[in-house]
Homo-oligomer: A and B are copies of this chain.
Amino acid sequence: MDKFVRSITSRDEDFAQWYTDIVKKADMADYSSVKGCVILKPYGYAIWEMIQKDLDRRFRETGHENVYMPLFIPESLLQKEKEHVEGFAPEVAWVTHGGAEKLEERLCVRPTSETLFCEHYANTVQSYRDLPKLYNQWCSVVRWEKTTRPFLRTREFLWQEGHTAHATAEEAVEETRKMLDVYADFCREYLAIPVIKGKKTESEKFAGALETYSIESMMYDGKALQAGTSHNFGDGFARAFGIQYTDKNNELRYVHQTSWGVSTRVIGALIMVHGDDNGLVLPPVAAPVQIVIVPISTKNEAVMRKALELKDILSAKWRVFLDDGDRNPGWKFSEHEMRGVPVRLELGPRDLEAGRAVLASRDNGEKLSVSLDAVEAEAGNLMESIRRRMYAKAAALMSARTFSAASAGEFERLFDQRNVFVKAMWCGSEACERMIKEKLNVTSRNIPFEQEAVSDKCVCCGEAADKMVCWGRAY
């Protein structure tokens, strides 16, 4: 037990190492000989499958359908939209040979699939009756990154990408905002992570987009993680790909498009927002195992019988694991803590005699002795409390580390000591953004929808400014 726990670095000591330790110790991911790519192990992949299930339901409820597009994009197709290819070409993997033969045209492994969806829409959209097209796909994409970390940045990663086509500009704007809301709700309700919704600045927006919206979350170390993005393309891609439809008056018009995505990065956020020095802490709804039953003596028949009985009862509502292995209870405690199991049920011979069991909450370590008859109801109450506490804790963290700055000096001092979010005004010039980035390694996270007039001057150049930006250091 000691050894198991001791081998984790404290998060306050070395956050990066703590993160890597958890990924390994909680059995989430592993390295392979494929540089920059990781193996998602059963526990890590189970978390992704559950995230998929929840998001997929939200997408269906908002009218979207799943499809699957090819993995490859011909070079000529990628080049059709100028900004898009400039943004992605430097970081794509190129397939040049099929078997022993050299290909006539290089194919890139999709870094994102706008171009494929555009081509498909150009072929299939004819009339206003064909609109809107509300497609989504679950797949992996590849971007040739230099430095990589499990979940946060890998050369191949799993994600979903929604791609829609609409009759009007207004509908596309509405869709872009709607899907950002879906993502924000998902983060809050499912991951128990608060986010800041806003619009990206010109220099931070997606290659080829008119507007990019993002949700930004704060990790335990104060850094920002972009948990999801939603892009409005206007008719830019439609013009490049010739996606036109005839409207009700029989006039030819370009469609307006959007795309939006969430990736396995959010698992990185789950770890970094909620985890502690004992390991992963998972919100009950997102935990592959919600209740672990640890019999204090696996040799005691009465205890084991009752443990099995409790497992059957609790399994009707929750994902339950009865750990009847031959390791000692302490070792089991720390292992399931490492894996972030929200509730642990301990049952020993003395508990049984007293007709009671102990319920321990993973998030705050509190133990509660409850009557065996009340276990089911109490477990339910606990899950709800844990969810609420976890969200509140994450919100408090973000709130305690979010500041406003009216002057450059104040701004710099805030970022001097540690990573924080700072709300400060921006004049709209890329030069100011660049200067802040170069000087402080701080970027504009987004222009929050909820604006506050912190001052009326740009925090960098002092010129008139009416946009409040949320600034931070990012993953």
**Residues of A participating in the B interface, judged by any CB pair closer than 8 Å:** 30, 32-34, 37-42, 45-46, 48-49, 65-74, 77, 89-101, 107, 109, 116, 119-120, 123-124, 135, 139-140, 142, 144, 155-156, 158
Q: Is the CB of A45 within 8 A of B30?
A: no
Give the nearest-CB partner of A72 in chain B.
B34
Query: In whole angstroms, how far apart are the Cα atoms of A95 and B110 in the complex?
Result: 12
Specify which of B97, B99, B135 is in contact with A96 (CB 8 Å cutoff). B97
Q: Are B135 and A109 in contact (CB under 8 A)?
A: no
The reply to whether B71 and A109 contact each other, CB–CB distance below 8 Å, is yes
Nearest first, the 7 A-B pairs at minimum CB distance are A98-B144, A37-B70, A42-B65, A40-B68, A94-B97, A34-B70, A96-B96
Q: How far is the CB of A171 from chain B (nearest CB, A)?
A: 20
B33 & A69 in contact (Cβ 8 Å cutoff): no
Question: What B residues does A95 contact at CB under 8 A?
Answer: 93-96, 109
Measured CB to CB, the nearest residue on chain B to A41 is B67
Partner of A70, one of B38, B65, B67, B99: B38
Whether B120 pairs with A74 at a CB distance below 8 angstroms is no
With both beta carbons as reference points, the residue of chain B lying nearest to A98 in the complex is identified as B144
User: Smallest CB–CB gap between A102 and chain B, Å?
Assistant: 10
Are B69 and A39 in contact, CB atoms less than 8 angstroms apart? yes
User: How many Å lie between the Cα of A123 and that of B24 in the bound state?
Assistant: 13
Q: Which chain B residues border A120 with CB–CB below 8 Å? A: 30, 32, 39
Known: A90-B99, A90-B100. A119 touches B71 (CB 8 A): no
Q: A97 CA to B34 CA in the complex, in Å?
A: 14
Residues of B within 8 A of A74 (CB): 33-34
Give A41 to B124 CA distance when docked, in angstroms. Answer: 11
With most chain B CB atoms within 10 A of its CB, the pick from A30, A39, A74, A100 is A39
B-chain residues with CB within 8 Å of residue A33 when the two chains form the complex? 74, 77, 119
CA A98 to CA B88, docked complex, whole Å: 11
B39, B68, B116: the one contacting A68 at CB < 8 Å is B39
**B96 and A92 within 8 A (CB):** no
A135 — which chain B residues lie within 8 A by C-beta?
A: 42
Q: Are B100 and A93 in contact (CB under 8 A)?
A: no
Q: Which residue of B lies closest to A158 (CB)?
A: B68
Which chain B positions have C-beta within 8 A of A142? 71
A140 to chain B, nearest CB (A): 6
* 25 A–B pairs (Cβ distance < 8 Å), ordered by A: A30-B120, A32-B69, A32-B70, A32-B120, A33-B74, A34-B70, A34-B74, A37-B71, A37-B72, A39-B69, A45-B68, A46-B66, A68-B158, A71-B109, A71-B142, A90-B100, A91-B98, A93-B97, A93-B98, A94-B96, A95-B95, A95-B109, A96-B96, A96-B97, A109-B109
Complex Cα gap A119–B48 (Å): 23
Cβ distance A14 to chain B, nearest Cβ, rounded Å: 25
Please, how many angstroms separate the alpha-carbon atoms of A99 and B93 in the complex?
6
Q: Which of chain B's residues have a CB closer than 8 A to the CB of A124?
A: 30
A98 and B42 alpha carbons, distance in the complex (Å)? 29
Besides A39-B68, A41-B67, 5 other A-B contacts (C-beta < 8 A) = A30-B124, A37-B72, A70-B156, A98-B144, A139-B140
Pick from B30, B90, B99: contact of A92, CB below 8 A: B99
Among residues of B, the one whose C-beta sits closest to the C-beta of A110 is B34
Contact call B49/A66, Cβ cutoff below 8 A: yes
Nearest Cβ on chain B to A121's Cβ, whole angstroms = 11
